[in-house]
A and B are shown apart, each in its own frame.
Chain A
Amino acid sequence: MSRASPAAWWFVAPALVVIAVFFVLPVLAGLALSFTDFDLYALADVGNLRLVGLRNYLRLLQDPLFWQALGNTFYFVVVGVPLSIGASLGAALLLHSPLARFKGFFRTALFTPVVTTLVAVAVIWRYLLSTRYGMLNYVLAAVGIPPVDWLGDPHWAMPAIILFAVWKSFGYNMVILLAGLTSIPQDLYEAARVDGASAASRFRHVTLPMLGPILAMVAILTIAGYFQLFAEPYVMTQGGPLQSTVSVLYFMYEEGFKWWNLGSASAVAFLLFLLIFAVTAVQARLARRSVAA
């Protein structure tokens, strides 16, 4: 790297400049903005702009709604990510099984939610989740469970959002894991079978270790993605009921683009960035250690 010739820098220069202009500069501008109270009044007259130092951050840390948004986001990540990866892995294993029929069809069918428009499927899901006419409650009624007001009850709205998000996104990881499964050499399985390993221990001692790096990558990407929960509550619940589905990003959107408090919205964005960065760093370290072990 240090020995690269100037010519090499010339070749990457366009990309670096684009990154600098469209990424680094805006990020720095955003950081600067987060130390001001830029809002509608400042837009009218820059004289109304006040440098507030860390007050945006302090205010956020005192705002119960921000903590609630943070709690909701963690809830979504902690429950949603294992569910999502579990579903992806399960579907990938089923599709990879030698017993599976019509693999092409099922692979496409399970991948379809990923490529459909979120807003369109949200409309359908709102009907599935409807208290009076929803299919979900219909099925629950068949086994004797009383109807649940999925999107109207503050306790059930987030589970409903998680269900929707997992359904919408598990196909993507499934395809990656399926590719990983295909690349595991068959001789490992054969050797394990000759040694008398059961299906469960073959999965435990052959499949999982071989998938390790891919699973780690999938986990990092999924967690970073799930922290940025926004579109699902935006189209399904608008953050309600009782703000039980307000995520950090949704909170930022309202602060910045609905109420035009860009200073405070930038502060939210930076807090979220720090959070994702910290979680990802810890995760990457854990993954590296487990691969090395």
Chain B
Amino acid sequence: MLRGWLRAGSRWLLLAALVGAVAGCSARHDDPNVVRFWAMGREGEVVAALVPEFERTHPGIRVDVQQLPWSAAHEKLLTAFAGGSTPDLCQLGNTWVPEFVALHALEPLDASVAASSTIQPADYFGGIWQTNRVDGALFGVPWYVDTRLLFYRSDLLAEAGYTTPPRSWTEWTAMLDAIKQRLPGRYGIVLPVNEFEPLVALALQQDDPLLRDGGRFGNFRSGGFARALRFYAGMFAAGYAPATRDADVSNIWNEFGRGHFVFYVSGPWNIGELSRRLPKDLEDSWATAPLPGPSGPGASIAGGSSLVVFHASRAKRAAWQLLEYLSQPDVQRRFHALTGDLPPRRSAWRDAPLADDVHARAFREQLERVEATPRVPEWERIANEIRLVAERVVHGELTIEQAQQALDARTDRILEKRRAVLARASAP
């Protein structure tokens, strides 16, 4: 009886193996003239409009654009890596670059950039270029940038007695206090508590790095991080900022239009959203400003996406040509017109429409002062812990010192494997 069982079983297993083998064959991609390009979200939708010109100017090369939703992109890329079916060219959130470098999945680009006439590193904003360097080698070229700064209601700020936005933390606090005193019923600021970026931006303004010993341990015990966290939590404790999440549940743009709050720390996509969604008569009532620093204009976080070439690609040359094409300043301007994404090259900002956009101007200034977050594969998880711990501080469950200890403990635990891998790599 059991033998019959086994025989039947082996037959099915054989069939399953055959099906697997056939599926495996059809998934091979060898053509060096077809670039499989994966792009995410809105960028994935619109980049197809830029492809025809590339195919016209590069006869013989065909581009196959695949669009991934952001929510599934990370999982899909890792699965593709595990299954050996990574694309040739890919858009990658720049905090993901170190992770894929750790997988040895990306092609180093230093030589290609040195030989390129289109891509000049000096033309790129320094902080954003830096996000693509891991352990001294370059693995990506910035495609668009994302950072956080101030959106504010200039009319309400004027009502509170100020005509220019704050440049330093001291000025900022004074304004928030004035709003609280003179504009009852309105909040001074909304800091989205479901994002780590506002607090990390404040922490990046400090001299102390977030991690120490080459990204082996957390450095949240430092005085710099304490300053940033104290300032951040203070805005909630003083009642300048609402601690609840209701702002994300209901419509933040309507709330901004109604003047429920004056300052809002957010990113470039809100230039487009606010221009579209606010009523016409509020058009001149809002503005943007660079993020204030501890003493004078401060740094902010260097986010955004890069373009990377995968190591396993058979079409590296063609993929690099597409990367160069997408990095040309005039193509970047067209890309900006399609998406509202901000270009990472100074030359792309020199002409209309970006040069004339009043709301983009603060971003232009801020981009000269963006800082890369630590480039370790575990960064996103650490950033998530920062957010969770900060939320506890805001709710009064942890003091600043307890939060610092908790963050260092959690970070050191997250980095335990990294330390082991680094030790193993350096052992003979």
Binding partners A and B:
yes
Question: Measuring CB to CB, which residues of chain A are less than 8 angstroms from any residue of chain B?
Answer: 6, 9-10, 13-14, 16-18, 20-21, 37, 39-41, 43-45, 47-48, 50, 126-127, 129-133, 149, 151-154, 238, 240-243, 257-260
- In Å, the complex CA distance between A21 and B100 comes to 32
Q: Is the CB of A152 within 8 A of B244?
A: yes
Q: Given B78, B103, B249, B391, which contacts A242 in the complex, CB threshold below 8 Å?
A: B391
- Write the B10-43 contact mask toward A (1 if CB under 8 angstroms, else 0): 0011001000000000000000000000000000
Q: Is the CB of A10 within 8 A of B8?
A: yes
- Shortest CB-to-CB span from B76 to chain A, Å, is 11
Q: Given A44, A126, A238, which contacts B104 in the complex, CB threshold below 8 Å?
A: A44
Q: Is the CB of B417 within 8 A of A37?
A: yes
- Is B9 at the interface (CB under 8 A from chain A)? yes
- Note all chain A residues with C-beta closer than 8 A to B246: 130-132, 149, 151-152
Q: Is the CB of A240 within 8 A of B391?
A: yes
Q: Is the CB of A43 within 8 A of B103?
A: yes
Cβ-closest chain A residue relative to B103: A44
- Note all chain B residues with C-beta closer than 8 A to A260: 78
Q: Is the CB of A47 within 8 A of B424?
A: yes
Q: Is the CB of A242 within 8 A of B392?
A: yes
- In Å, the complex CA distance between A70 and B9 comes to 39
Interface residues of B in 385-428 (CB under 8 A from A): 388, 391-392, 395, 397, 417-418, 420-421, 424
- Shortest CB-to-CB span from B256 to chain A, Å, is 14
- Note all chain A residues with C-beta closer than 8 A to B418: 41
Cβ-closest chain A residue relative to B381: A259
Sample 16 A-B pairs with CB under 8 A, ordered by A number: A6-B1, A10-B4, A13-B5, A17-B13, A21-B12, A21-B16, A45-B104, A47-B424, A126-B249, A149-B245, A149-B246, A152-B246, A240-B391, A241-B193, A241-B245, A241-B391
Q: Is the CB of B421 within 8 A of A48?
A: yes
Cβ-closest chain A residue relative to B4: A6
Question: Measuring CB to CB, which residues of chain B are less than 8 angstroms from any residue of chain A?
Answer: 1, 4-5, 8-9, 12-13, 16, 74-75, 78, 81-82, 99, 102-105, 193-194, 244-246, 249-250, 377, 381, 388, 391-392, 395, 397, 417-418, 420-421, 424
- In Å, the complex CA distance between A153 and B381 comes to 24
Q: Is the CB of A149 within 8 A of B104?
A: no
Q: Is the CB of A152 within 8 A of B12?
A: no
Q: Given B8, B99, B250, which contacts A133 in the complex, CB threshold below 8 Å?
A: B250
- Shortest CB-to-CB span from B121 to chain A, Å, is 27
Q: Given A43, A44, A126, A149, which contacts B244 in the complex, CB threshold below 8 Å?
A: A149
- Shortest CB-to-CB span from B403 to chain A, Å, is 13
- Note all chain B residues with C-beta closer than 8 A to A127: 250
Q: Is the CB of B103 within 8 A of A152?
A: no
Cβ-closest chain B residue relative to A41: B421
- Note all chain B residues with C-beta closer than 8 A to A130: 246, 249-250
Q: Is the CB of A240 within 8 A of B194?
A: yes
- In Å, the complex CA distance between A130 and B392 comes to 22
- In Å, the complex CA distance between A154 and B8 comes to 55
- Shortest CB-to-CB span from B195 to chain A, Å, is 12
Cβ-closest chain A residue relative to B74: A258
- In Å, the complex CA distance between A238 and B71 comes to 13
Q: Is the CB of B244 within 8 A of A17?
A: no
Cβ-closest chain A residue relative to B82: A43
- In Å, the complex CA distance between A45 and B424 comes to 12
- In Å, the complex CA distance between A37 and B1 comes to 40
Q: Given A9, A20, A153, A242, which contacts B397 in the complex, CB threshold below 8 Å?
A: A242
- Shortest CB-to-CB span from B211 to chain A, Å, is 17
Q: Is the CB of A132 within 8 A of B103?
A: no
- Note all chain A residues with C-beta closer than 8 A to B420: 48, 50
- In Å, the complex CA distance between A132 and B8 comes to 64
Q: Given B74, B245, B397, B421, which contacts A152 in the complex, CB threshold below 8 Å?
A: B245
Cβ-closest chain B residue relative to A14: B12
Among A40, A50, A131, A242, the one with the most B-chain Cβ atoms within 10 Å of its Cβ is A40
Q: Is the CB of A151 within 8 A of B249?
A: yes
- Note all chain B residues with C-beta closer than 8 A to A258: 74, 381
- Shortest CB-to-CB span from A26 to chain B, Å, is 13
Q: Known contacts A40-B99, A43-B82, A260-B78; is A20 also within 8 Å of B9 by CB?
A: yes
- Note all chain B residues with C-beta closer than 8 A to A37: 417
Among B12, B13, B81, B105, the one with the most A-chain Cβ atoms within 10 Å of its Cβ is B12
Q: Is the CB of B244 within 8 A of A131?
A: yes
